[in-house]
Amino acid sequence: MPTQFCCAHISALRRMLACGLVLLALSGGAFAQEDDEDAQPPTDLDMSMALANQKGRGPVTNLPLPRYVSLKGSEGNARRGPSLSHRIDWVFKHAGMPLRITAEFGNWRRVEDRDGASGWVHYSLLSGVRTVILDEDMTQIYSRPDPKSPVTALAEAGAIAKLGKCNIDWCEISSSDADGWVEKTRIWGVEPNETRD
């Protein structure tokens, strides 16, 4: 009797772990818990998408995952799943805000913002123009990528700027109010080791 219970318990545990690993991969590394009746067990399509995303390339575009884009218009609905039939969880409301693509499915991209709000957005609402958002109030913008260079402006937390060149520690940004160089640790919308010419 103890042997049968042990084997059944291990088998059930393996099934739960397999489902949990697929959900973990689909959620971009964070555990997603569904608390409503819409929750569905992972399908073969879910599993193949998770495996494609784990390889670091989008299964639709073959572009790197994760990668950054920006919101094209002033509003974008983020849905629970990749179709219009899924409910809207978030509405992104800042034109040009940077978003991080973590998964792809057909014409849909799973994105997240700097606060971790995420959902599926139709690709037509996204732009390849790179932007960043400043994390700290009174962020100093320098004339060159050097803390000894002159400060050309101070930026507010939450300000959105267009991304230019980046080296390992600094990025060039521009907006209608100012342009210059900022330390990479003070912005969101670029990977720590990313460089741009």
What pLDDT sits at residue 95? Answer: 94
Q: How would you class 166 by CB atoms within 10 Å of its CB: exposed for 0-12, middle for 13-18, buried for 19 or more?
A: buried
d(CA 45, CA 117): 24
Q: Which two tokens stand for residue 22?
A: 């697929």
What pLDDT sits at residue 43? Answer: 56
Q: How confident is the model at residue 177 (pLDDT cuts 50, 70, 90)?
A: confident
In whole numbers, what is the pLDDT of the chain averaged over residues?
Answer: 81
What pLDDT sits at residue 13? Answer: 36
11-15, 66-70, 154-158, 160-164: least confidently modelled range: 11-15
pLDDT at 172 over 70: yes
What pLDDT sits at residue 8? Answer: 37
What pLDDT sits at residue 50? Answer: 59
DSSP 3-state assignment of 1?
coil
What pLDDT sits at residue 100? Answer: 98
pLDDT in tens, 17-37: 333 333 333 333 333 333 444
**Length of the chain in terms of residues written:** 197
State whether CATH 2.30.30.40 applies to domain 12-29+44-127: yes
pLDDT in tens, 113-147: 999 999 999 999 999 999 999 999 999 999 999 99
Residues of the chain with CATH 2.30.30.40: 12-29+44-127, 131-188
What pLDDT sits at residue 180? Answer: 97
pLDDT at 6 over 90: no
pLDDT at 45 over 90: no
Chain centroid to CA 97: 12
CATH architecture group of domain 131-188: Roll (2.30)
DSSP 3-state assignment of 102?
strand
What pLDDT sits at residue 66? Answer: 95
Q: How confident is the model at residue 49 (pLDDT cuts 50, 70, 90)?
A: low
